Structure 1
């Protein structure tokens, strides 16, 4: 072989190697997603793809530039990687104006409240920055805080229950402490008044019930401490359990699976700019098991989720050792932006009072079970395993307090800024857990299987 031909081949090989190495770099972008973790009633989403608002459903990834709109019977919750939460009530619009990642791995999140009422729980991880904007005000959070923002046409209020919040706006900076409320006069250069009390909001009980669910289930399993992310962990602990599987380590499985169930029976392919089609599971626990790790099939256990692969999140879930004749999940081959439903489509709760009883069947894998609505789900699972189905009573929904009469105000001691002479309108909220830090997730195509740490052995579930 001539020296010239050899040089040409070496150059081609070098170019090919560079191209192959470039693929993971493109896949490992600094894009972030957060989770639409609860949907009740009518909630719409604008995915920032030029199609305007459309139906939103549980487990949809929320990306930078997306908007959510809870209509007059709607409520929703959005979970961030560190466990921070934003909840919105009827007639509320929010925009996720910033979801980015620094080279250091710290996360930058900015949420704009366009109208309505939102509850915010920031867990306070030092490396992360979380900003809430409303009207011309900006609350940049640097430590743990829980608060509520009410934005109307002529005024806005921010009420703090935990921690303190500093707000910057046209009238300068103001710090609002625990159990204080700041009211901003939007018609008078955003001049503010700070009161030392606040009044109950109609949806405080609902927000409190959601927070109690996370408080109870977020750290309910010893394996949770090894999870680098917190979004979706509460649902894993409520809707399923862990097994130490020989050869695979610690794996998770939902209750009520049964023979013939597979994790891709119900869901939808949803298109996102920059990512293409992404699998969205219909199951109420269906976040982490489809974004990280692998689904594995083990005889005598069935399908289990093996945690891992925390540095990447997947648009197409990974499958390892599937049974014969199993068809792996494949995104639609045709281009376009339409949502493609598989089996039972993801949905939100209807905007009507929930049923007080629920029938649970083997093979349902938690579909139809309201989050936190049935006690001792592990024992219910045993009954379903032996009987095939069972009917259970559900917890009553949170009571929505009546709205105070128009013009009602609780006068309290306080102070004002920007030369305001207004009295204040009050508000309220609840407490929150701390969460662990994590490496930054990056979008990726499937990667080799990673193993989970080993803990005490559990027996496999019985199969009928």
Structure 2
């Protein structure tokens, strides 16, 4: 069983014996019913959490241990046990640190393991495009499909295609992968793909350029204009900040980021609260860039502008702890766990050097990791956490640097996950005036709180039947993933899913342990010592011990065994003392029956009683002396262990920092190379498009010229035809006129001739008559 709790396997029991019981600030989470009390002790929350970076179409998610699907939203945290389903026609992009997982429509993915050092998922159906970047030394990712288990030990790009029917395909676009099938194991290198068919050996082919999912995933997020600062490396969602603001150096806080926001903007106001196990209240920011600044770092005003600092320079020194994910870096005031309805709740964004105290169960080591990058004196914070469960003793809102930008809403608005910006207007003026007097923490969730599961409701004393379900979507069943998880290594199968218990009260303390000490984690039953030479990862096993430490631990173990043996022998000693105790004085009836006088016996019994009392006092004094000596030795051993562990952690952190810088440099070079290749491809594509546009415009120009020439030729032909017709008509008119004139002249000539003939005839006749 993998657990970040193994890092406290050595120190947990001595701490539990020496430290006072802390005061609970949130309802404690009892163990799973039916499981051994030691094994059921909850572990610290993981330090690395993913998010839904982009989604199109219908995308749903399922909570651990549930079978109902709920609508997903951008910036929703994704952790171990969550399942993501992209319905046909939709797509989703998940981010985990610097790595990404893109899902095609019809894909069903479940995160089997997700913490500081493990990333494993099961893909029951669909297509997934995995881009691994920023892997820690020794870290690997795993994807299990119905046909094979795929281990990706190096950074690269991988494509998984698992159709409902037919063979599946695993392609290594860049990097290297190890395939484990029923027929054996094989290695795929860059440019290779394996076709996995039922009942047939894998077939190797060329990987090809990818699919439309690859092009969508590579272009959906803004491209970084320059490398991410080393202080922010490894934070989920950090790559989006460059597109929505600017990075600049600060002499007090190192590299800080200035968002492009308005003058009235303040952190933790544009979004809503949702219940996310195991942290509880978790902030969901509405801005696409709001994930990283909401769950890492601190907010501070530098001049008139807001700045987000991923780390405080003073706290860095020679080592830089790995960033740890937080549900929200705020401090709660007001609300209360039993305040119904309107009771106001306020929160203040934490500034640099202000401690973060979890409102959920956590160990002192976890509190130290959460504040190591932002608070110079982490030991003081840890001591405050152990003495006062939430560090609230004597604290007021006036002590916080960002107190002017506190946000106040009705508790019901937070319980129902309503947008904060809309609910701020509903708060009364007198509540703003008395915000400094609000001393309680975040409100208790209710039946209508989104994200509340029946198991969590039972643990918090809420009847599971009273839960108000939000929108529910249809999706694939959860059964296939249970079989796929069995093919993962035991350390990457994730925590067992919680099951509700009907025979235990929600507020009952863990079995076999006193109430009020539930926050001190006990060592897991399967805890194993770390491997020699292993680097101490935050949240993972502690570094190997030297000879002095081993002797101190062995001495502690012997002392604890002696104490346990003496505690087990006490009932037997009590029985023996009762047997050796003097008999009660005889009754008068006994004396009448002939009992002898007992003056000598009484003296003897009194002497024996005094002797036993003296021996008991000496034994108690000896035990007290031994106990104090053992406690002193334990404290000295713990102090030696702590110092040696701090030195080892510091050296390991320096080594990790150097490795992280080298990885960041290589990643930056890879990003620059890919960006140059992308720009080259874009330039070639632009040239091709420009050439095509030019050819198209030339063809259109030629076509227009041909049409114009045809038009002109047609017009010329029509004009000549009209002119020809006009000339013919004129010629015909002329000929007709000439003919008419000729006919008229001939007519006149005939008439004149006839007239002359008549006149001649008349003259002839007249002559005849004469």
TM (norm. structure 2) is 0.38
- Residue of structure 2 equivalent to 1:312: 324
Alignment of 1:41-190 (within 5 A): 41-48=57-64, 50=66, 52-81=68-97, 83-101=98-116, 107-123=117-133, 124-153=135-164, 154-186=166-198, 188=199
- Residue of structure 2 equivalent to 1:322: 402
* 1:395-416 deviation line (CA, Å, top 9, x unaligned): xxxxxxxxxxxxxxxxxxxxxx
Alignment of 1:22-421 (within 5 A): 28-30=44-46, 32-48=48-64, 50=66, 52-81=68-97, 83-101=98-116, 107-123=117-133, 124-153=135-164, 154-186=166-198, 188=199, 191-198=201-208, 200-210=210-220, 213-214=222-223, 216-217=224-225, 220-221=226-227, 224-245=229-250, 247-255=252-260, 257-301=261-305, 303-308=306-311, 310-318=322-330, 319=349, 320=351, 321-322=401-402, 324=404, 326-328=405-407, 339-343=417-421
Q: Measure the CA separation in 2 of the matches of 1:20 and 1:293.
A: 27
Check the 8 A contact 2:93/2:102 in 1, yes or no. Answer: yes
* 1:249-308 deviation line (CA, Å, top 9, x unaligned): 4321211x121111223212121121111001111111221111112234422x221222
* 1:402-437 deviation line (CA, Å, top 9, x unaligned): xxxxxxxxxxxxxxxxxxxxxxxxxxxxxxxxxxx9
CA RMSD of the aligned region, Å? 3.5
- CA pair 71-290 structure 1, distance change in 2 beyond 3 A: same
Check the 8 A contact 1:316/1:331 in 2, yes or no. Answer: no
Shift of 1:207: 2.8
Q: Measure the CA separation in 2 of the matches of 1:329 and 1:439.
A: 38
Q: Measure the CA separation in 2 of the matches of 1:85 and 1:150.
A: 16
Q: Measure the CA separation in 2 of the matches of 1:329 and 1:27.
A: 32
* 1:427-462 deviation line (CA, Å, top 9, x unaligned): xxxxxxxxxx996479xxxxxxxxxxxxxxxxxxxx
Q: Measure the CA separation in 2 of the matches of 1:114 and 1:224.
A: 37
Give the match's secondary structure for 1:229: coil
Q: Measure the CA separation in 2 of the matches of 1:172 and 1:182.
A: 13
Q: Measure the CA separation in 1 of the matches of 2:60 and 2:269.
A: 24
- More strand, by proportion: 1
Check the 8 A contact 2:192/2:205 in 1, yes or no. Answer: yes
- CA pair 138-51 structure 1, distance change in 2 beyond 3 A: closer
Q: Determine which structure has greater relative contact order: mean sequence separation of CA pairs < 8 Å that are 6+ residues apart, divided by chain length.
A: 1
Give the match's secondary structure for 1:39: strand
Shift of 1:109: 1.2
Shift of 1:146: 1.3
Give the match's secondary structure for 1:313: coil
TM (norm. structure 1) is 0.61
Check the 8 A contact 2:93/2:217 in 1, yes or no. Answer: no
Greater mean alpha carbon deviation, residues 285-294 or residues 262-271: 262-271
* 1:90-137 deviation line (CA, Å, top 9, x unaligned): 111100011134xxxxx1111111111110122354321210111131
- CA pair 299-16 structure 1, distance change in 2 beyond 3 A: farther
Q: Measure the CA separation in 1 of the matches of 2:120 and 2:291.
A: 22
Structure with the greater alpha carbon radius of gyration: 2
* 1:46-101 deviation line (CA, Å, top 9, x unaligned): 122636211111111111110001112321211222x1211111111100011134
